[in-house]
Amino acid sequence: MSFTKPNFAKECVIQALYCGTNPHYLIAVAQMRSGLTDTNNAAGDEIGPFRLTQTDFNQFCTDNEFDFHFQTTDISLWFAQIAVFALMAHRAGDKFFLANNRNPTAKELYLQQWPTPPNATKLSADLTATLNQTAGLISTAADKVLDDPVPPLTIPDPNQPPPGPSAGPLNLSSITPQARLDMANKIQQAFQAANLGKFQQACAVANAIAESNLNPNAHAAIGEDSWGLFQLNRMGGLGKGHNPDDLKNPDTNISIVIAEAKKYPEFVSADSIDRAVSAFVRDVERPADAAGQIRLRTSIAQRFL
C-alpha cells in the first residue's frame, strides 16, 4: 500500500479502533511532527511520519496483548508506525489515568509521550491547527472503514478532556422484534445497575448482538461450546464450570460478563465508544479476528448513542 494521506488516515482509523485511542490525535501528531510525510529528520535519528526514535519503536513493536509482532527494522514502514504509535498513545493514556484518575486531554497525552517538546510554548496552538487541518481526512476514512459510520470523536480543543455521552438512555428503538429489544434493555439496565456508563452499556448491547443476535438460547457447538447472550464458552472460556441451563439464563449470562468486564479499568474508564469496544472485545470476548470484530461492533454500538 502506497503512502498517501487518504491511506494514512484510513490506517489511523483502523489502528485507533483496535488500540482504543483517537484517530484524530494520531494523524494530528503525524502532521505536527513530520508534516504528514514519510520522511526522517535531518539528523536521521527520528524516523517516519511520527518521527519515532528506534528506541521508542523497539519498546512497543512487540506486544502480546495486542498481538503485535513487528520487527525492529519495520520502523521504516509507515503503516507499522501507525500501529505502534497507536499502542504508544494507548499506553501513555493508561499511565496518565492511573496517575490522575481521569483521561488526558490531547495536550496532556502529547506531553505524557514527549514531556519536553521544543514547541512547548505553542503546543496548544500547534495541536489545534493540525487537528483542524486533518479532521476531514479522518471523517472520510471512517466512512470507508466502518459499516455504519459515525465520525470518530473529534478533538475541538486539545486543552479540554473528551466530552461525555449525551444525556438519557440508549436509543435501542431500531432493535426488533420485541423479544430482542427486551434482551437489549435487560443488558443496558444490568450494566447501568453495575455503575457502568453509557458507552459501556452501548458496547455491551452491540457485543451481544454480534455474539448471539440477542438470543438467550443461542448455542455454538463447532469447535466450542458457547451459550447464551454473550456466547460464553464452557471449554475454557467464561462459561467454564457452568451448565447450559445456567448460561441460557440471561441474568446469569449478563452477570458473568459484568463481573469479568469490571476487572479491566480500561473498559470501566473508557471515555468513548471506540475505547469501550476495543477494551471489551480484546479483554472480555476475545474473538479470533479481534481487529475486524472491533470495527463491526463499534459500528453497531454507535447506533445506540
Q: 188 and 242, same structural domain? A: yes
The model carries a pTM of 0.75
Which amino acid is residue 285, in one-letter code? Answer: E
Q: 215 and 140, same structural domain? A: no
Q: 188 and 136, same structural domain? A: no
Q: 198 and 278, same structural domain? A: yes
Task: Please indicate, yes or no, if residue 165 is contained in any of the structural domains.
Answer: no
Q: 118 and 244, same structural domain? A: no
| pLDDT tops 60 at residue 150 | no
Q: 137 and 9, same structural domain? A: yes
Cβ(250)–Cβ(244) below 8 Å: no
Residue finishing a domain among 92, 124, 145: 145
Q: How confident is the model at residue 143 (pLDDT cuts 50, 70, 90)?
A: confident
Q: 12 and 140, same structural domain? A: yes
Task: Please indicate, yes or no, if residue 218 is contained in any of the structural domains.
Answer: yes
**In terms of Cα–Cα distance, which of 270, 266, 269, 242 is closest to 254?**
242
Q: 19 and 103, same structural domain? A: yes
Q: 210 and 276, same structural domain? A: yes
Which amino acid is residue 117, in one-letter code? Answer: P
**Dist. CA 226–CA 256, nearest whole Å:** 13
Q: 133 and 10, same structural domain? A: yes
Task: Please indicate, yes or no, if residue 152 is contained in any of the structural domains.
Answer: no
Q: 183 and 132, same structural domain? A: no
Please report, for the domain that includes residue 95, its CATH number. 1.10.530
Model pLDDT, residue 148: 52
Task: Please indicate, yes or no, if residue 205 is contained in any of the structural domains.
Answer: yes
Task: Please indicate, yes or no, if residue 153 is contained in any of the structural domains.
Answer: no
Q: Is 251 exposed, middle or buried (0-12, 13-18, 19+ CB in 10 A)?
A: exposed
Task: Quote the domain boundaries for residue 231.
Answer: 178-302
pLDDT tens profile 82-122: 999 999 999 999 899 888 878 889 999 999 999 999 888 99
Which amino acid is residue 158, in one-letter code? Answer: P
Model pLDDT, residue 189: 97
Please count the structural domains in the chain. Answer: 2
Assign residue 264 a region (left: φ > 0; alpha: ψ between -120 and 50; beta: otherwise).
beta
**Dist. CA 89–CA 95, nearest whole Å:** 10
pLDDT tens profile 220-229: 988 899 999 9
Q: 194 and 112, same structural domain? A: no
pLDDT tens profile 275-299: 899 999 999 988 878 888 888 898 8
| pLDDT tops 70 at residue 147 | no
